[in-house]
Every structure is written in structure tokens, then in C-alpha cells.
Amino acid sequence: MDECQEQKGRLKDLCYGVGFNGRPNPSQKASDDYRRSIGLDPIVVNSPSVRYVKGKPSPVAVSKIGTNLAKIFHDNVGQVPCGDCKAEIERLNTMTVTEVEADTEAIIGRIVSNAKRNAAWWLRLSVKTLEVVHSEIHSEYIKKCLTEACQMESINGTK
């Protein structure tokens, strides 16, 4: 079982290094200090969208789909404050374009569901959805962004 799963609330945030349910992300130092205090290795960040933990098997990044999607959201909607949304977006880097396309509806559903729990993120996403697709259906906008992220990956050679 994942050692961080046993933690609750802000301690879980510190353990994972990511804020959940709209809580702000802990600083890297605070996260590393807490992980050391409970006997875990610090989190080593090799790219802005993928977390690796020293000494632990981690998901292998096989694409930059999550990184691309995070950049698209950052450029269009602003920083993603929702920890669960960030985790979902990071997970996309462990998937190929084909895998993402096969699981698109479930991915979109999880991002929409997670975003609804964070009022600030949901509001910014709502405004952008109305601007771009002239609809209140958030999944349409997220699908557009996800498709764009997959196309960026396909152009760079990963299928």
C-alpha cells in the first residue's frame, strides 16, 4: 500500500507534494522535510508535470500529453489549482496517444468531476468554456484541449 494513502488532509498533501481538493500545493521544502520525518525519500521533480520518487518504482513517462495539456490549460485558463486535476493530468504522461484516445471520456469525466470541487478553477474553466465553445458543457472544452495535447504529441512522433 502507498505510504501516503495512510496520511490525512494536509499531511497527505505534504506526503504527495500536491494539494488536494483545492488546497494550495505545499512548498517543495515542506514536502521534502515531511517525507524525511516519516522515513520516505524526498520527491525529485524531473519535469514540471511528472513527479518521481527516489527509491520507489514510479510510473514511467512515455509521452508529454499531460505536460502539453497542463501548458494549454495554463496558457488559456491559468494555473490549475486543483490537486486532483493535476494528478489526473500528470497521469496522462504515462499513457500513449492511442491509450488516451481510447479512454478520453473517462479522463474528461474525472477532470470535470475534480474541477467542480474547486470553485476558483471551476469558475475560470466555465468562463473559458463559454468563450471557446459557446456552451456550458465543460467536457467539450476539456475534450478540445485534450485533443490538442494529443495532436502536439503526435506531431513530436509518439503514437
> What is the percent of the chain with per-residue pLDDT over 90, rounded to a whole number?
15
- 37 to each of 12, 30, 41, 102, 153, how far by Cα in Å? 13, 11, 10, 41, 39
Q: What is the model's pLDDT at position 146? A: 93
Q: Report whether 28 contacts 96 (CB < 8 A).
A: no
Supply φ then ψ for residue 39, to 5 degrees.
85, 20
First to last CA, the chain: 32
* Span 111-128, pLDDT tens digits: 888 888 877 778 888 888
pTM score of the predicted model:
0.60
Q: What is the model's pLDDT at position 52? A: 44
Domain residue ranges in the chain = 3-53, 65-155
Q: What is the model's pLDDT at position 44? A: 55
d(CA 28, CA 110) in angstroms, rounded, equals 26
